[in-house]
Amino acid sequence: MTEAPVAARPVEAAPETLQSLNPATGELVAEFPIDDATAVATAVGRARAALPTWRDLGFDGRRKALLRWASQLINNADELSDLVHRENGKPAEDAFLELMLTLEHIDWAAKNAKKVLSPQKVKPGLFMANHEAVIERRAYGVVGVIGPWNYPLYTPNGSIAYALAAGNTVVFKPSEYTVAIGRYYVEAFAKANPELPAGVLSVVFGYGETGAALVKSEIDKIAFTGSTPTGKRIMAAAAERMTPLVLECGGKDAAIVAADADVDAAAEAIAWSAIQNSGQTCVGTERVYVEEAVYDTFLTAIRAKLVGVAPGSHDSASYGPMTMPAQVDVVRKHIEDALSRGGRALLGSTESVRAPFIDPVVLVDTPEDSLAVTEETFGPTVTVRAVKSIDEAVELTNASEFGLASMVFSKSSGMAIARRLRAGATSVNAPLSFAAISALPFGGVGASGFGRIHGADGLREFAYPHAIARQRYAIPGMALLTFGRKSSTVAMIKKVITFRHGRHS
Catalytic residues: 248, 282
Residue with smaller CB distance to ligand NAD, 81 or 225: 225
**339-342: long-range pairs with CB below 8 Å, 24+:** 339/363, 341/366, 341/367, 341/370, 342/366, 342/367
- Judged by DSSP in three states, 153 sits in coil
Q: What is the closest distance, in whole angstroms, from the C-beta atom of residue 490 to ligand NAD in the complex?
A: 52
The answer to whether the CB of 153 falls within 8 A of the CB of 186 is no
* Cα 322–chain centre separation: 20
Q: What is the closest distance, in whole angstroms, from the C-beta atom of residue 470 to ligand NAD in the complex?
A: 40
Q: Name the one range near ligand NAD by CB under 6 A: 46-54, 160-168, 229-237, 353-361.
A: 229-237
Mask of contacts with ligand NAD, 256-285, x by CB under 6 A?
A: --------------------------x---
Q: Name the one range near ligand NAD by CB under 6 A: 206-214, 335-343, 345-353, 365-373.
A: 206-214
**233 near ligand NAD (CB under 6 A):** yes
Rounded to whole angstroms, how far apart are CA atoms 375 and 253? 10
| Cα 280 to Cα 62, 301, 327, 435, distances in angstroms | 33, 23, 10, 15
Out of 4, 51, 238, 432, the residue judged to bind ligand NAD by CB under 6 A = 4
Out of 23, 144, 199, 250, the residue judged to bind ligand NAD by CB under 6 A = 250
Mask of contacts with ligand NAD, 297-336, x by CB under 6 A?
A: ---------------------------x------------
**87 near ligand NAD (CB under 6 A):** no
* Size of site (CB under 6 A) for ligand NAD: 33
Rounded to whole angstroms, how far apart are CA atoms 11 and 19? 8
Of 447, 484, 462, 500, nearest to 117 by C-alpha is 462
Q: Name the one range near ligand NAD by CB under 6 A: 23-31, 203-211, 314-322, 426-434.
A: 203-211
The one-letter amino acid at 427? S
**88 near ligand NAD (CB under 6 A):** no
Rounded to whole angstroms, how far apart are CA atoms 255 and 428? 10
The answer to whether the CB of 425 falls within 8 A of the CB of 452 is no
Q: How many helices (H) and strands (E) does the chain have?
A: 16, 22
Out of 249, 339, 372, 387, the residue judged to bind ligand NAD by CB under 6 A = 249
The DSSP secondary-structure symbol of 4 reads P
**146 near ligand NAD (CB under 6 A):** yes
**155 near ligand NAD (CB under 6 A):** yes
Residues that bind ligand NAD (CB under 6 A): 4, 6, 146-151, 155, 173, 175-176, 207-208, 211-212, 215, 225-227, 230, 233-234, 248-251, 282, 324, 376, 378, 404, 444
